[in-house]
Amino acid sequence: MVHVIDTASREWGRPLVDPLRRDARPWQGHASAQLFAALAALAPMVALVLWTYVLQESPLTVAGLLLWPLLGGGCLILWLLFLHILVSGDSLESLGLLKDRVWLDVLVGSAGSLVLLASKLGLQGTLVRFFPPSPPAEEIVELLSGLSRNPWLLALWLGPVVWIGIAGFEELWRAFMLRRLWRVWGGRSGRWASLLVVSALFGLAHFYQGPAAVVEIGLVSVPMGWVFMATGRLRTLIVAHALYDSIQIAFALIVIRQVTP
């Protein structure tokens, strides 16, 4: 059986591992069901990354780079929620999505995005000593060029693509995987080990950006996972992630417009 820790809720968070829903089936409380749900969440993500960046013969167009995250991420969000509720016996409340104080998530998430940017700058200065910088992928250059020319595409990217297809999906996946593993290994050491495993997987999912990005994203994922472990609020992570990506895109477009005649 999974570990269950039923402690008093915090004002801004919740217990790390709380009971399943009252209407959950007995089989949903077994560790095998939780691990099966984790593997079912991991498999399509691995398949999508392999097909997009390894098996696909031609680079994605700008339209493809916009549609793939939005449609793929949107479908995977529904898949994760299906596994979370109907396979794992968990609830939406466990993700902090139904909690009030949205303003607090926005405030903390906004501050978190600045911390992420500062961490990125600090890590890049160190990682460049071990991983020589490589030119950006052709798809990224094409995407930035397209966004710089078309304000509608830019609005689409900074809107639903970033908030739903990228930040929404990736942070839901992080929270989902952490909750599955915490239900199997609910002790303090088990929770931290699960956090490190999920952070490593998160970094490896970005291997197409190069080894430096894998290490950087894996390291940054540790405090992101800790925030969810401490607060149980998914919205905070989504806000931090979406603003972090949006600020980077904005700076990249400013540089492109300055160097482009």
Please tell me the predicted confidence (pLDDT) of residue 58.
Answer: 65
Per-residue confidence in pLDDT tens, the chain, 261 aa: 444 433 333 434 444 566 788 888 889 989 999 999 999 999 988 887 777 666 666 666 777 778 888 998 999 999 999 999 999 999 888 888 867 888 999 999 999 999 999 999 898 888 888 888 777 767 777 788 888 888 999 999 999 999 999 999 999 999 999 999 999 987 889 999 999 999 999 999 888 778 888 999 999 999 999 999 998 899 999 999 999 999 999 998 888 877 765
Number of helices and strands in the chain (H, E): 10, 0
Measured in whole angstroms, the distance separating CA 168 from the mean position of its chain's CA atoms is 7
Please tell me the predicted confidence (pLDDT) of residue 261.
Answer: 57
Helix extents (H) in 128-164? 138-149, 151-156
Spell out a b/e string for 139-168, using b for 16 or more CB atoms within 10 Å of the CB, else e: beebbbebbbeeeebbebbbebbbbbbbbb
Please tell me the predicted confidence (pLDDT) of residue 8.
Answer: 33
Q: CA 191, CA 173: separation in Å to the nearest integer?
A: 16
Please tell me the predicted confidence (pLDDT) of residue 162.
Answer: 96
* Cβ-contact 164, 75 below 8 angstroms: no
In the chain, where are the structural domains located? Answer: 29-259
Question: Residue 166 has which token pair?
Answer: 């990228």
Task: Give burial (CB, 10 Å; 0-12/13-18/19+) of 38.
Answer: buried
Q: CA 246, CA 10: separation in Å to the nearest integer?
A: 31
Question: Residue 13 has which token pair?
Answer: 């968070």
Question: Residue 33 has which token pair?
Answer: 């069901």
Please tell me the predicted confidence (pLDDT) of residue 6.
Answer: 37
Please tell me the predicted confidence (pLDDT) of residue 83.
Answer: 96
